Chains A and B, each alone.
Chain A
Amino acid sequence: QVQLVESGGGVVQPGRSLRLSCAASEFTFSHYAIHWVRQAPGKGLEWVALISYDGSNKYYADSVKGRFTISRDNSKNTLYLQMISLRPEDTAVYYCARGGVAAAGTWAAFDYWGQGTLVTVSS
């Protein structure tokens, strides 16, 4: 069964940094695009970032561009989200979600999701 397990969330002060991880198992991680999607408390889903299967292409929502960096280590089956200059409005549950296979992966539906990790930005 495909598994995605996020970690690294917590409480952080505005302006500080945090790195989230997403450990993948039970599928060939290096073949798939992977996304970060977040959900502020009581709000809807917001797509954050996407990385292609080989890490060569990265896409970001305008709300995080220049502050967040998505990366992956295919040898460790792990996805990362480095977040800097955090703002209170970045407070949310952050989910990683699997996209599609190989070159077409960018445009495929998100077929498996992790359970999420909560990031709270507050002084």
Chain B
Amino acid sequence: QSVLTQPPSASGTPGQRVTISCSGSSSNIGSNTANWYQQLPGTAPKLLIYSNNRRPSGAPDRFSGSKSGTSASLAISGLQSEDEADYYCAAWDDSLNGWVFGGGTKLTVL
């Protein structure tokens, strides 16, 4: 059971907008920033969004992040086939004194 809760799966058709949620608590997302990672099949994870809504260099602007209270969200607009991957949220947890990840969401492009 992960500390951060994500839906196990999401799907959309090319061009569609998809949103993935990440629910936490006051000790993690509620008091710290959320980050998002993309893991393409058979590869290492890659940073996609940091500090709730900032994109690292190279991350497409189709990806955006937001945070409200103890939850964070990742939105993907103009869905493309190459976006098919696993997506993970993560945050520092003040109570655990460590980092926590969500269980991951498998995105399927139909």
Report the bound CA distance from A47 to B99 in whole Å: 6
In this complex, what residue of A is CB-closest to B6? A44
Partner-B contacts on A (CB < 8 A): 35, 37, 44-47, 50, 59-62, 95, 97, 106-116
A121 to chain B, nearest CB (A): 21
Residues 32-54 of B at the A interface (beta carbon under 8 Å): 32-33, 35, 37, 39, 44-47, 50-51
Interchain residue pairs A-B with the least CB separation, the first 4 = A109-B50, A47-B99, A44-B104, A109-B35
6 further contact pairs, Cβ within 8 A, besides A44-B2, A110-B35, A113-B44: A37-B45, A47-B100, A106-B92, A109-B47, A110-B37, A113-B46
Q: Is the CB of B44 within 8 A of A116?
A: yes
Q: What chain B residues lie within 8 Å of A50 (beta carbons)?
A: 98-99
Q: Is the CB of A114 within 8 A of B37?
A: no
A113 to chain B, nearest CB (A): 4
A43 to chain B, nearest CB (A): 8
A22 to chain B, nearest CB (A): 12
Q: Does B24 contact A (CB under 8 A)?
A: no
Known: A44-B103, A45-B88. A60 touches B37 (CB 8 A): no
Known: A106-B92, A109-B35. A59 touches B98 (CB 8 A): yes
Would you list 10 pairs from A and B whose C-beta atoms are within 8 A, ordered by A residue? A44-B103, A45-B45, A45-B90, A46-B101, A109-B90, A110-B47, A113-B45, A114-B44, A115-B44, A116-B44
Q: What chain B residues lie within 8 Å of A60 (beta carbons)?
A: 98
Report the bound CA distance from A62 to B93 in whole Å: 13
Report the bound CA distance from A43 to B91 in whole Å: 19
Q: Does B56 contact A (CB under 8 A)?
A: yes
In this complex, what residue of A is CB-closest to B57? A111
Q: Is the CB of A107 within 8 A of B92?
A: yes
Report the bound CA distance from A46 to B56 in whole Å: 22
